Structure 1
Amino acid sequence: MSGDLMHGGVPGAREAADRTDAKGTAQARTGTPRAVGVVWALLGLNTLGSAGAKTVITLPRSLIQMATMGALVAAFALALALNLKLRVRPSAFVFLLTLLLVPSLISSIQLAGAGALFRCTRLALFVGTLWLLSRWWDGGTTFVRYHVRMYFAVLVLVAAGLAVAPGTAMPEYYGGRLVGALWPLTPPQIGQYSAIIVGLTVLLLLDRRTTGANAALIIVPTLALLALTHTRTATVGLIVGLVVAIGSLILTSAAARRFFAWTVVISTVAVVAFMSALQSWFMRGQSKEGLSNLTGRAKVWDSLLAEPRTLGEQAYGTGLGDKSFGGLPIDNSWLAIYHEQGVIGITIVAAFLAVMGGVALLRPPSLARACALFLITYCAISSYTEVGLGDSSPYLLHLALAASLLVPSAATGDTAATGPGTAAAPPSAPTPAAPRRRIPRWARR
């Protein structure tokens, strides 16, 4: 009895305290450090790019490149500091992305110069940081929230530029489309970030992971910015991606069914009532001929495909570059990969898209699966008129988020992260509660 009094004087208090301490220790061991969100934000800063619209205060491109590249180096260093034991989680996406370095490096060494090797180094650091972060990929929504907060902060910067200098934010040389006035961002970039934020927030709302007020605070201004960019690719990607994602939830979620039904009704009424305005927004003042040749993109694509190439250039490409051909932007991920990383690069990129799509379709219905399907669908659609699937870019960051969502959760048999040469530890059996000590009758008296 004296021993029990030393540990609290209440029978079972010691055992309860031990179980509470063990639970807290386990949560601290398996939780995601807050610094991981900082690493994710630094990766996002690296992918913002250094070329774009004119800003209110002219920023030297060299200074912007130093900031973006410095952010990548800082992200890798911080991720390494958080994961000194190099414990990583198996990921087909990151593995195939690592293989993509091979044709990039071969073509850059043989055919290109220092600029291509610099871009290879940037891609290697990007992939290495993803490997280090994979330790905390658990199929949860932690990285989804990192993603939404990061790009919403970028859009707040865009909105601030619109408020400070509306003429600079909507210049005539971009046809009055919204650009970044404080940081050089193009209309397609702003449209992409807006579409991703809206899609992920809608899915979080359907699963009741956020409140309606918080969702409206994000979705309404973001949709307004998307409309000001006049970005058709982002709009189509958002609509199709949400249809696929919500369709994967219809059989198991009443909220998804209600949202889908109301969206169809409201969209039908809006199309009928505002047909002329929607048509004018979609055409952006272009002629039907300009729309048919995708604003001149088709001419660049034809010239790129007609360019004579050696067998090595067809296999490995011409080295990582600025995604242009003949001084004009390529604006197609597949042709850019063919030009810079060859047929081997196209095969690898198609492989990780197919693998991720197949894994997502085989998963049971859930929020994580819906978010992954939305991101994969959006990136697949955007690849037709945007570049980025073969180099460090926001699109690879979106797909990395999808890969983190497709990791089996602990409830479905999660595999532990392992270090080099270390086997995964088997799941530990729950510790049985210690039996309560029987107190003799004389002691109770």
Structure 2
Amino acid sequence: MDERTNTRPRTAPEAGTGPGAAGTPRTVGVVWGLLVLNTLGSAGAKTIVPLPRSLIQMVTMGALVAAFALALTVNLRLRVRPSAYLLLLTLLLVTSVISSANLESGFGALFRCFRLALFIGTLWLLSRWWDGSLTFVRYHIRAYFAVLGSVAAGLVVSPGAALPDLYGGRLVGALWPLTPPQIGQYAAVIIGLTVLLVLGRRTDGTSAAVVIVPSLVLLALTHTRTATLGLFIGLALAIGSLVLTSAAARRFFTWAVVCAVVAGVGFASALQTWFLRGQSKENFSSLTGRAKVWDALLSAPRSTSEKFLGVGLGDKSFGGLPIDNSWLAVYNEQGLAGVTLVAVIIIVLGAVALLRPPSLQRACAIFLISYCAVASYTEAGLGDASPYLLHLALAAALLAAPAAAAPGPAPGLPRRPAHRPEAT
């Protein structure tokens, strides 16, 4: 999406438009896209052309290795920027290695630790270009929009495979095995970021509509409640942070409230039907059976070591059933130490965002942090290489201080010539 031309006179470089944003190599965008590919996962719906899980894992793991290699290529001098987020992630990696060393979860736990190490290492290498600009926001939107493009293509090619009865008619990935919650998450995140770019006048309405309209359709077809709530709550907080400084944000917020009231009154029945997805009240109250898994996990006997360090990185399941809660998944695999580190990550990012002056970058960061916090209740991923850690990495990049520019002469003053001694 192209940025609108700004004709205002500038007296100083604006946040996100300094030398760091302009000097980011294109390879960095490729690396970010490979990280997105790596976090798509290997388990999901049946595809039109059956893809062996081993092949999918080879592609996703190969993408991570390629991302690390490319990041190392463009940052051979290993220049990194200090980052509390990456430091805390590194401590979480150390905790994961310690908890996985006893092999209670098998050798797969050590492999997942290696994957997490490559993931964090790649982010460290990319941190050189974290300067508070919107560069990585555009990378994020483009990468996930490409993923949603494959979902839309699968829906067009084979509607039956894309809306299977196995998932209650909810949209899945027919070309690449993606589940409804995954698709809903990707759609919600790029919708929210694109809306904020429009409000900040960093993209035009046509380009934004190309992203927002089809993404909204895909989000509606997934019937994903968590993604929808995360989108609304995240946007409300993000736009609220701009209300005092942006007339566009105030207008959007007002119209959003009016539309929400009208929709609530005129389409209450349809919205309730979509929200319940045909579930009984008992099934809905137990969060589609999640609460039963959570109760079983919390009531299971654990040793002192398992309570504080967990059982090692696994597949985010308990008793063969998905945990679907980031906090309980981290507690199960990395113990109370992991839960503490993840909580500190969210708190630190949130505190930094609140302390920053109002800006579009700050609003985007608040949206991402809020979305991940909401989704953590019914989705796992905050303790391992996942889209959620990538969303938070983007928030950390947005909250980073702009790179210091090289000092030069004051504006409007002539450069003083160097003193040369006269010949004797």
Normalization by structure 1: what TM-score? Answer: 0.87
Question: Partner of 1:294 in structure 2?
Answer: 287
Question: Partner of 1:206 in structure 2?
Answer: 199
The answer to whether the Cα contact below 8 Å between 1:51 and 1:61 also exists between their aligned partners in 2 is yes
Residue 371 of structure 1 pairs with residue 350 of structure 2: no
**Among 209, 216, 229, the residue aligned to 1:236:** 229
Question: Partner of 1:66 in structure 2?
Answer: 58
Question: Partner of 1:428 in structure 2?
Answer: 407
SS class of match (1:430): coil
Residue 319 of structure 1 pairs with residue 312 of structure 2: yes
Shift of 1:434: 3.8
Shift of 1:409: 2.0
Equivalence map 1:330-345=2 (5 Å): 330-345=323-338
How far does the alpha carbon of each residue in 1:73-126 deviate from its partner, in whole angstroms, 9 at most, with x for none?
000000001000000000000000000012210111113321000000000000
Equivalence map 1:202-281=2 (5 Å): 202-281=195-274
Deviates more, 1:263-272 or 1:276-285: 263-272
2: CA distance, partners of 1:259 / 1:30: 30
The answer to whether the Cα contact below 8 Å between 2:316 and 2:329 also exists between their aligned partners in 1 is yes
1: CA distance, partners of 2:213 / 2:398: 26
Question: Partner of 1:8 in structure 2?
Answer: none
How far does the alpha carbon of each residue in 1:369-409 deviate from its partner, in whole angstroms, 9 at most, with x for none?
00000000000000000000000000000000000000112
Question: Partner of 2:82 in structure 1?
Answer: 90
The answer to whether the Cα contact below 8 Å between 1:158 and 1:180 also exists between their aligned partners in 2 is yes
Letter of the 1:67 counterpart: V
Question: Partner of 2:27 in structure 1?
Answer: 35
Decide whether aligned partners of structure 1 residues 259 and 291 sit closer, same or farther in structure 2, where only a CA change above 3 A counts: same
Question: Partner of 1:393 in structure 2?
Answer: 386
Question: Partner of 2:346 in structure 1?
Answer: 353
Letter of the 1:92 counterpart: A
Q: Sequence identity, in percent?
A: 72
2: CA distance, partners of 1:68 / 1:376: 25
How far does the alpha carbon of each residue in 1:185-236 deviate from its partner, in whole angstroms, 9 at most, with x for none?
0000000000001000000000000001111111111100000000000000
Shift of 1:428: 2.8
The answer to whether the Cα contact below 8 Å between 2:46 and 2:177 also exists between their aligned partners in 1 is yes
Shift of 1:361: 0.2
1: CA distance, partners of 2:416 / 2:135: 38
Letter of the 1:71 counterpart: A
How far does the alpha carbon of each residue in 1:258-284 deviate from its partner, in whole angstroms, 9 at most, with x for none?
000011111211221111111000000
Residue 55 of structure 1 pairs with residue 47 of structure 2: yes
1: CA distance, partners of 2:415 / 2:165: 75
2: CA distance, partners of 1:386 / 1:162: 24
Shift of 1:435: 6.2
Decide whether aligned partners of structure 1 residues 77 and 267 sit closer, same or farther in structure 2, where only a CA change above 3 A counts: same
2: CA distance, partners of 1:244 / 1:331: 25
The answer to whether the Cα contact below 8 Å between 2:172 and 2:179 also exists between their aligned partners in 1 is yes
How far does the alpha carbon of each residue in 1:133-185 deviate from its partner, in whole angstroms, 9 at most, with x for none?
00000101000000000000000100000000000000001000000000000
Question: Partner of 2:161 in structure 1?
Answer: 168
2: CA distance, partners of 1:29 / 1:116: 38
2: CA distance, partners of 1:208 / 1:175: 40
Deviates more, 1:98-107 or 1:57-66: 98-107
Shift of 1:30: 6.6
Deviates more, 1:324-333 or 1:260-269: 260-269
Question: Partner of 2:98 in structure 1?
Answer: 106
The answer to whether the Cα contact below 8 Å between 1:103 and 1:317 also exists between their aligned partners in 2 is no
**Among 188, 191, 201, the residue aligned to 1:195:** 188
The answer to whether the Cα contact below 8 Å between 2:20 and 2:129 also exists between their aligned partners in 1 is no
Gapped regions of structure 2 (runs ≥ 5): 1-17, 418-424
2: CA distance, partners of 1:260 / 1:29: 30
Letter of the 2:219 counterpart: L
2: CA distance, partners of 1:28 / 1:342: 39
The answer to whether the Cα contact below 8 Å between 1:43 and 1:75 also exists between their aligned partners in 2 is yes
Decide whether aligned partners of structure 1 residues 29 and 103 sit closer, same or farther in structure 2, where only a CA change above 3 A counts: closer
2: CA distance, partners of 1:66 / 1:221: 30
How far does the alpha carbon of each residue in 1:221-253 deviate from its partner, in whole angstroms, 9 at most, with x for none?
110000000000000000000000000000000
How far does the alpha carbon of each residue in 1:308-346 deviate from its partner, in whole angstroms, 9 at most, with x for none?
011111111000000000000000000000000000000
Normalization by structure 2: what TM-score? Answer: 0.92
Decide whether aligned partners of structure 1 residues 327 and 214 sit closer, same or farther in structure 2, where only a CA change above 3 A counts: same
Letter of the 1:81 counterpart: T
Question: Partner of 1:75 in structure 2?
Answer: 67
Letter of the 2:80 counterpart: V
The answer to whether the Cα contact below 8 Å between 2:20 and 2:131 also exists between their aligned partners in 1 is no
2: CA distance, partners of 1:330 / 1:113: 19
2: CA distance, partners of 1:64 / 1:161: 17
Shift of 1:71: 0.2
Which is higher, the Rg of structure 1 or of structure 2? 1
Question: Partner of 1:180 in structure 2?
Answer: 173
Q: What RMSD over aligned residues (CA atoms) do the two structures have, in Å?
A: 1.5
Question: Partner of 1:157 in structure 2?
Answer: 150
Letter of the 1:108 counterpart: S
Deviates more, 1:262-271 or 1:36-45: 262-271
2: CA distance, partners of 1:108 / 1:429: 52
2: CA distance, partners of 1:377 / 1:408: 21
2: CA distance, partners of 1:207 / 1:295: 38
SS class of match (2:46): coil
Question: Partner of 1:19 in structure 2?
Answer: none
